[in-house]
Amino acid sequence: MGTLKMPENFLWGSASAAYQIEGAYDEDGKGLSNWDEFVRIPGKTFKETTGDVAVDHYHRYQEDIALMAEMGLKTYRFSISWPRIFPAGKGEVNQAGVDFYEKVIDECLKYGIEPMVTLYHWDLPLALQEEYGGWESPRIIDDFVRYATFLFNHFKDKVTYWITLNEQNIFTNQGWVTATHPPGKFNDEKTFYQVNHHAFLAHAKTVLAFKNIIPEGKIGASFAYGPSYALDCDPINAMAKVDYDNLRNFWWLDMYGYGRYPKNAYRYLEKKGVAPEISEEESTILEEAAKKIDFMGVNYYQTSVVEYNPINGVTPFGEVNTTGKKGSEQVTGEPGVYKNPKNPYLKTTDWDWTIDPMGLRYACKEITSRYQLPIIISENGLGAFDTKTEDNKIHDDYRIAYLKAHIYELMKAVDEGCDVWGYCTWSFTDLLSWLNGYQKRYGFVYVDRDEIGGSLDRFKKDSFYWYQEVIRTSGESIEE
């Protein structure tokens, strides 16, 4: 038996996102989303996969939630699809969409599973993108707040935990810098920062509205946090790390936690001519909201190494591994500032993601000392190829090893003084990986489908039973 243990009320969970699991993309009055359109552009996703059917959670939510209950899950984090609620992004409500989420929430509550709702996990109503460019226009701020407010009012007696935006840093970077997410803009840095500014304001105004409607509820944003390590003690690399953190991490974390941009990064972007405009009134709103968030949501997958990058060095654009062929990812960076070489001390996944369990404890301690906020790990997991044996077993010992090492570090973080409320693995069932198709699997539950299709039957993997035991023993079953 290990000596570490999580508190009794710890939220052991698992997470998903609407587009990646639901399917039923045009059923029961749902409007189209930006992703419904984007995946149809040839070459954008692995083998042209879409979420049209995904893993059909829309029709199988009862089976999926029953499996969660069997496992003993304490919380289930899922997202609501904005165009299912407001097909045109605003205006008329689609009652069938509201009913669907009401059923999902009721099903969770029936088993004593705490629903944790993400308001925005990347599927924007296409209508808003077409009308005013979606996040590119400040008009989105009020539309988002109206959408969120509707949900707060409707579910205020059933849902305590809310997440405003999922990985704002990722969807904006992929959307406006690398062109790999909708709206597929390339290298438009100025818009990237302006879009982020709108998203910060949408988040902030939503937090303020929330506190009036559900004062006892808990709200935060989920950030894709990859802590960084300087390559070595050469001051030039140490300086590159500071700059990297300000530009790639604290730009978002400071805004959620303090309501302001990191000064050095802002100055750098100002000189580059791409800093967002910010008014005094906006500053006040952002600062007010920062005082009111209840937790920092962290999606943790990996850390990065930072090294100085000469002005003629690598750019933010490089080959990304979406095939699972190890070693195809290229080093990227900001010319004249930083680059992110591989970490020679750590192994990587088949998709070239660094595996760094201790980085999770590092992330928690950094957030604790910088913001003194409670933390919810809203995602963490291993994307891997899984094989189902002839007798329908999935021996995913590699996933168990990955999760075990991460949870152990998380328990140490708690032991060392971090206030961590919950831990959600990514993901409960297998699901669609945005750019990597269905072969990159994350779940405790195997779903029989590939890039073309399948029976969609569910099978419990070995990791299912393993996590069940972790939850049952509050983590005590994990030994170092």
434 binds ligand BGP (CB under 6 A): yes
CB atoms inside a 10 Å sphere around CB 342: 14
- Smaller CB separation from ligand BGP, 166 or 191: 166
d(C-alpha 430, C-alpha 440), whole Å: 8
Q: Are strands 296-299 and 333-334 parallel, antiparallel or unpaired?
A: unpaired
Kindly state the smallest distance separating residue 297's Cβ from ligand BGP, in Å: 11
d(C-alpha 102, C-alpha 385), whole Å: 34
Among 10, 46, 371, 426, contact with ligand BGP (rule: CB under 6 A): 426
Residue 38 tokens read as 């984007």
22, 136, 307, 379: which is the annotated catalytic residue?
A: 379
CB atoms inside a 10 Å sphere around CB 348: 17
Question: What string marks each residue from 11 to 50 as x (binds ligand BGP by CB under 6 A) or -?
Answer: ------x--x------------------------------
How would DSSP label each residue in 39-100? TTSTTSSGGG--SSSTT-HHHHHHHHHHHHHHHT-SEEEEE--HHHHSTTSSSS--HHHHHH
CB atoms inside a 10 Å sphere around CB 98: 17
384 binds ligand BGP (CB under 6 A): no
Question: What string marks each residue from 296 to 325 as x (binds ligand BGP by CB under 6 A) or -?
Answer: ---x--------------------------
107, 167, 282, 307: which is the annotated catalytic residue?
A: 167
192 binds ligand BGP (CB under 6 A): no
Among 64, 107, 167, 366, contact with ligand BGP (rule: CB under 6 A): 167
d(C-alpha 49, C-alpha 454), whole Å: 13
Instruction: Establish whether 379 is a catalytic residue.
Output: yes
- Smaller CB separation from ligand BGP, 129 or 321: 321
How would DSSP label each residue in 223-259? EE---EEESSS-HHHHHHHHHHIIIIIHHHHHHHHTS
- Smaller CB separation from ligand BGP, 20 or 34: 20
Applying CB under 6 A, the span of 278-286, 334-342, 411-419, 426-434 interacting with ligand BGP comes to: 426-434
166 binds ligand BGP (CB under 6 A): yes
Binding site for ligand BGP (CB under 6 A): 17, 20, 166-167, 170, 224, 299, 379, 383, 426, 433-436, 440
Catalytically active residues are 167, 379
